Amino acid sequence: MGRITIVVGIDGSEQSRRTVRWAAAEARIHAAPLKILTAYPWNGPSEALHGVGELPELVAQRFEQLAATTAAETRAQQPGIEVTGTAVIGDPAQALLEAGRTAAMLVVGNRGRGGFASLVLGSVSQHVATHATGPVVVVRGRADAGSGPIAVGADGSASAQRALALGFDEAQRRGCGLLAVLSYPPPPYGMDVPPLPCDRDAAWRDAASDLDAAVTPWREKYPTVPVKTLTEPGSPAKTLVDVSRDATLLIVGNRGHGALAGSLLGSVSQQLLHHADCPVMIVHADQAP
């Protein structure tokens, strides 16, 4: 990664504590400083958090104490890494995006305080994953996703090429394998669609050849990383959710082939942020290596 600081957002929830633990372990893997950030969108004498009117100084103290305590706990859990805790006034999503402009990685939980119980992805996480200028990891799924390969969605798009680059780097740092995944459309069929001549084996071979071509340069650059490939017909989101059950980290581009030109986050990426069983990293094609 070209930039070194890892930034993690917290709000005091149990989910955010789990997110900080993941980010701290990642900071150790990358030998990177960890910045713990909390933000509170309240800066005047109005209705404060939880419906309780408080002086601005007391609200600031509450969040500053949260940042300081979390940083101290993280230093104790991961001795030797540089950890800072900061509390700022402002919208949490915007504060994270601003901090992320000079960070190697932004880390957020899938839900925190204030999220409706029925939502599996909080509004802050969704906004950050959509608009960040650098890699974003949404920590979700299994409580401990520390074993298994790095799984990468590789559909040949520019952002998927970036995902492969980061995937091989992460796998080498962890000393684990990499699984490159490509899904391709099955032949159309159904009650209203007459059978079409299709060589299923040829379709699979073509897709497997495309995937192998995408992976080959990275195999050569990272010869110590064990690599497997998976080529499957059907839904890319379903295939990637399936492989996330055994993966340490799932990395995908923000938009793959077939995404609407105006969308900032493709449908596959969005589905993974809601349903994957391990942390998900979203990367953009224009991010620097």
In a domain, 210, yes or no: yes
Alpha helices in 117-157 (DSSP H): 123-131
**Rounded distance, CA 108 to CA 8, Å?**
6
pLDDT at residue 159, rounded to an integer: 86
Cα 17 from Cα 10, distance rounded (Å): 7
Pair 116, 165 in one domain: no
Query: Is residue 246 a part of any domain in this protein?
Result: yes
CATH number at residue 118: 3.40.50.620
Residue 88 lies in a domain: yes
pLDDT for 190 equals: 52
CATH number at residue 214: 3.40.50.12370
d(CA 156, CA 147): 27
Domain that holds residue 237: 150-283
65 domain residue, yes or no: yes
Q: Is there a domain that residue 144 lies in? A: no
Report pLDDT for 185. Answer: 75
Number of domains within the chain: 2
Instruction: From 139, 162, 193, give the residue that closes a domain.
Output: 139
- Dist CA 11 CA 1 (whole Å): 27
Please check whether residues 134 and 14 belong to one and the same domain.
yes
Q: Which amino acid is at 117?
A: A
Strand order in the sheet with 136-139: 83-89, 34-40, 6-9, 105-109, 136-139, 280-283, 249-253, 150-153, 178-184, 227-233
Can you tell me the distance from the alpha carbon of 15 to that of 124, in angstroms, rounded to the nearest whole number?
13
Residue 143: the pLDDT is 66
Q: Pick from 139, 174, 194: which residue ends a domain?
A: 139
pLDDT score, position 191: 53
The H or E element that residue 7 is part of is strand 6-9
Question: Are 165 and 277 part of one and the same domain?
Answer: yes
* Predicted pLDDT at 110: 82
Please report, in tens digits, the pLDDT of each residue of the chain (289 residues total): 445 899 999 988 888 899 999 999 999 999 999 999 999 876 544 444 455 455 577 888 889 999 999 999 999 999 999 999 999 998 889 999 999 988 999 999 886 554 333 334 467 888 888 888 889 999 998 867 778 999 999 988 888 899 999 999 999 999 999 999 999 876 655 556 555 556 678 878 888 999 999 999 999 999 999 999 999 998 899 999 999 999 999 999 986 544 433 344 568 888 898 899 999 999 986 654 4
Could you tell me the two tokens for 217? 């340069």
- Looking at the structure, do residues 98 and 64 belong to the same domain, yes or no? yes
CB atoms within 10 A of CB 87: 21
Quickly list DSSP for 156-211. Answer: SSHHHHHHHHHHHHHHHHHT--EEEEEEEPPPP-BTTB------HHHHHHHHHHHH
Residues 64, 120, 184: CA angle, nearest 5 degrees: 125
- Which of 111, 139, 167 is the endpoint of a domain? 139
